[in-house]
Amino acid sequence: MIVTRLPEAAPRPRRIAVGTFDGVHLGHRAVIEGADTVLTFDPHPRSVIDPVGMPHLLTPLARKAELIAEIGARELVVIEFDRDFAAQSAQAFHDDVLVGRLGVTHVSVGENFRYGAKAQGDTELLAADGRFAARVVPLLEVDGEIVSSSHIRGLVAGGAIEYAGQLLGAPFSMTGTVAHGDARGRTLGFPTANLVPYPGFVTPAHGVYACRVQLPDDEEPVAAATNVGVRPQFSTGRGELVEAFLIDWTGDLYGREIRVDFLKRLRGEKRFASVDALVEQMHADVEQARVLASLPPRQ
């Protein structure tokens, strides 16, 4: 898939889906279905319009692009959302962006999509423009709840990682750079990749998770048992940590970027009666993670 910034996008007939699409969840996927191009915004519009109320996000732009490509879109066009763009009228968005720059023939949006200065644009205004066809997708409900990015953020933060993955249509993931830790896991027989997540993104509730880790330059993911928390067994002084023990894998990942896909929460974080009891539980966590990740041992 081609990722293009708006000023570089060449005009051509396009069927586009428009939205912020944080998480690219099932509701977003219904909007994107059938579109050859997705138009999104970076940074998140709330960071400019209401920075105090800016939520922690689910997906960085690079991961959003990967998920959108998997749906089948051929192009992702990114609008740099700044104060000048926020002040643009809804009609200017039609004239300058949709028709003038992108040459759209069809536009797909969710029913709650608003745009333009002071959110003056809505689906009725979009549908009234005769220069393109507008498709308005109803909000999706699952189990009596609207599927929304804010709802999924709450699920992740509360540890309901499996259900969050169901609503996302793919496992919730975190991406970051592997950093040096204090080697505590290595001394216990479980060397970990210590992830420094991107700031401003959701972190799962403290606990141990079955995961798959996507490594750089490695097509096959690796099963992992991942701890998110503060390590109550030890005094680290490091604050919140994300530590992934990669099962049946050895190598050097320091300074490299990895993606951790969270599959299931195995247990909450707790203090054990002894270090030996902790190690015993870690062995059990690893075996459970291996089974849940459905990956055979590496040879």
Which pLDDT value is given to residue 74? 96
Written out in words, the top-level CATH class of the domain with range 171-293 is mainly beta
Which pLDDT value is given to residue 208? 96
Task: Name the packing angle between helices 161-168 and 149-157 (round to 10°).
Answer: 160
CA-to-CA distance for 161 and 151, rounded, in angstroms?
12
Q: Is the peptide bond before 138 cis (omega within 30 degrees of 0)?
A: no
Which pLDDT value is given to residue 189? 53
Residues listed for the chain: 299
In DSSP notation, the chain reads -EEEEGGGPPP--EEEEES--TT--HHHHHHHTT-SEEEEEES-THHHH-GGGPPPBS--HHHHHHHHHHHT-SEEEEEE--HHHHTS-HHHIIIIIIIIIT-EEEEEEETT--BSGGG-B-HHHHHH-TTSEEEEEPPPEETTEE--HHHHHHHHHTT-HHHHHHHHTS-EEEEEEEE---SHHHHTT---EEEEEPTTB--PPSEEEEEEEEPTT-SS-EEEEEEEE--TTS-----SEEEEEETT-----TT-EEEEEEEEEEE-----SSHHHHHHHHHHHHHHHHHHHT-PPP-
CA 109 to chain CA centroid, nearest Å: 20
Q: Exposed (0-12), middle (13-18) or buried (19+): which is 73, by Cβ within 10 Å?
A: buried
Query: Which CATH superfamily includes the segment(s) 2-146?
Result: HUPs (3.40.50.620)
CB atoms within 10 A of CB 214: 17
Q: Which residues contact 248 (CB under 8 A, 6 or more apart)?
A: 222, 223, 297, 298
- pLDDT per residue of the chain (299 residues) written in tens, 0 to 9: 999 999 999 999 999 999 999 999 999 999 999 999 999 999 999 999 999 989 999 999 999 999 999 999 999 999 999 999 999 999 999 999 999 999 999 999 999 999 999 899 999 999 999 999 999 999 999 999 999 999 999 999 999 999 999 999 999 999 999 988 655 555 555 788 999 888 899 999 999 999 999 998 766 899 999 999 876 444 454 458 899 999 999 888 999 999 999 999 999 988 887 888 888 888 999 999 999 997 544 44
CA-to-CA distance for 278 and 231, rounded, in angstroms?
11
First vs last C-alpha separation in the chain? 34
Asked if residue 246 lies in contact with residue 178, where contact means CB atoms within 8 angstroms, the answer is no
CA-to-CA distance for 49 and 40, rounded, in angstroms?
16
CB atoms within 10 A of CB 267: 13
Which pLDDT value is given to residue 278? 83
The structural domains of the chain, with segments of one domain joined by +, span: 2-146, 171-293
Which region holds residue 47: left if phi is over 0, alpha if psi is between -120 and 50, else beta? alpha
Q: ∠ CA 85-58-9 to the nearest 5 degrees?
A: 40
